[in-house]
Amino acid sequence: MTNPKIFEELHDAYIVAVEADHLSNTVSLRLRLEGRIFTLIFDGTTRFLLTEMVMQNIVYSISILEPGSRDYTEAASKLETTYWKNEHKGKQIAFVSASLGAEMYIEFDFVRKLSKSESEPQID
């Protein structure tokens, strides 16, 4: 299971990019906060739902939903309506809640976090 501390410092981060790659089964979120760029890479992504994306999107929190909880059941139901033919289910569901703008549900196997200073050169 994912260590929830991976998401602790991301309150009030701005979402600057979302990348969903169905060929590699990854969803990547690039976030900016106080002069740093964080990239969360959700590997083994099976289902993904993004809502309310606007020009300025601010993260309130990112959490892993507890299997069997009401929030998990509701998230799984929302994902089921969008990906009803998917046979494989991810091991975890992350919920990105918003202070403003985009909210996301990501069903995945594991997550990695990268960070760098905004002044460091971008490597693509």
* Domain boundaries along the sequence of the chain: 4-115
Does the pLDDT value for residue 122 go beyond 70?
no
Q: 14, 32 in Cβ contact below 8 A?
A: yes
Read off the pLDDT of residues 33-76 as tens digits, 9 standing for 90 and up: 999 999 999 999 999 999 999 999 999 999 999 999 999 999 99
Say which residues have a Cβ less than 8 Å from residue 115's Cβ, sequence separation at least 6: 36, 37, 38, 39
Q: What is the pLDDT of residue 109?
A: 94
User: Is the predicted pLDDT of residue 123 greater than 80, yes or no?
Assistant: no
* Contact in structure between 102 and 96 (CB atoms under 8 Å): yes
Once rounded to an integer, what is the mean pLDDT over residues 107-123?
Answer: 84
